[in-house]
Amino acid sequence: MSAPLISPSILSADFAQLGEEVRRIDAAGADFIHVDVMDGHFVPNLTIGPGVVKALRPHTKKPFDVHLMIAPADPYIAAFAEAGADYLTVHPEAGPHLHRTLQMIRDKGVKPGVALNPATPLEAVEPVLDMIDLILVMSVNPGFGGQAFLPVQLPRIERLRQMIAAKGRDILIEVDGGVTPDNAASILKAGADALVAGTAVFRGGPDAYAENIAALKAAGSLAV
């Protein structure tokens, strides 16, 4: 298997020097930059808004993979698109009309994604498989970094891969939550393409970022 895409979550970065941190993970081999947006309502934490995304955009040319853990999401789609998001991922529970939300994202020239919480039925994404470029499987309950991976998500990843294959679509499966070099091979073997990692990338400080990302990428050779 080829090396997975690695999307370091800046939720684990040093917020006092966020622009520099983005440049560091870019240079260390990140494929995407994962931006966790939390509103203190849909999930129990507050993080950043479109102004920070806009400020970070000049620091890298890597795609911004923006995960909206907010409700409602629709009023903020345009702002995050204009701030420089390349992917915008929303939760089915974040608004009454998922189809319309995804249309809004596409109309703004951004790639739409759907995030599935650990207990969200996979059927929630089935009606919109023709509209999306990414499915984000939450392997922890969203809201905080540093949680342990939930192995029950592995068969769900396998089922999603089957659903995508049946549609004949090119949709990335991204997994977020408790991803480490120890479990990355199992996640990739189940059918994931991309790994979101916060603690696993930022642990050890800037001098360790390249080694940490390389360890996650190496898991692709073990996912056979």
User: Exposed e or buried b for every residue in 13-52, given b needs 16+ CB within 10 A?
Assistant: beeeebeebbebbbebbbbbbbbbbbbeebbeeebbebeb
Active site residue 86: no
Catalytic, out of 31, 39, 176, 193: 176
Known binding-site positions for a divalent metal cation: 34, 36, 67, 176
Give me the catalytic one of 31, 36, 133, 193: 36
* Distance (Å, whole) CA 200 – CA 190: 20
Q: Binding site for substrate: residue ranges?
A: 9, 67, 143-146, 176-178, 198-199
Binding site feature residues: 9, 34, 36, 67, 143-146, 176-178, 198-199
DSSP annotation of 128: G
170 is catalytic: no
d(CA 159, CA 190): 9
Q: How many angstroms separate the CA atoms of 42 and 50, rounded? A: 17
Cα angle, residue 77 at apex, residues 72 and 82 outer, rounded to 5°: 155
Number of Cβ atoms within 10 Å of the Cβ of 87: 24
Catalytic residues: 36, 176
